[in-house]
Structure 1
């Protein structure tokens, strides 16, 4: 089955299928994610600006897991990397990456201002690149991201 959409990042390729998002790593490993049909998941999607579209929430969430570590640290998602290999990242890494992904989704879709800050980090530029990638625009070269 062909994906509906492919998002190519530096450290992975994200394939979007109906009800499924698969993150592929260059070594052939991958991890898939489906939206959770639970009241909590739906409420979070609603709160972050997705309305009732839990599929869009799931796509953006998996994208954020890979995009943010790439842009901010120049590395792949340590959480998805571990899951693709049948392992778990350390609990604090999971919590940090999850919290940042969810917070960024609120900024991406719901215009909720980012609570996390760092010196010389321009979240508006990061958001513009993310929106472009989600719309199919090619990513910035890694060297150009130094401004973030």
Structure 2
């Protein structure tokens, strides 16, 4: 029981999501990249804390990027489409390396017309200047 309580308290202390299910198209979140890590992906429609499993029974992971924004820390739960937008932003920034301390701006542009439950994003990336340390 203690382990599940510890997990529950840690989850409650995490930064809020940058984009919720009711986020209107055109919403942009901009901030300095504070952290980026793979975390177990929660099962859509599952019980609280239930992790999505692949066909082999292994946890599916999802990249979570934490941005320091003007309104506090925000988490980006990176979907495939958001990953594409960030990749395009890295290319537009001269094939920059993804790094902690850089500035990332992600805009939710709206639902995918072919798959209405999927979301589309655009992004811009500005490399860090002067070796920011964790």
Which of the five TM-score ranges fits, normalised by the shorter chain? under 0.3
Whichever of the two has the greater Rg, that structure is 2
The answer to which structure, 1 or 2, has the higher relative contact order (CA under 8 A, 6+ apart) is: 2
**Greater share of helix:** 1
TM-score by length of 1: 0.25
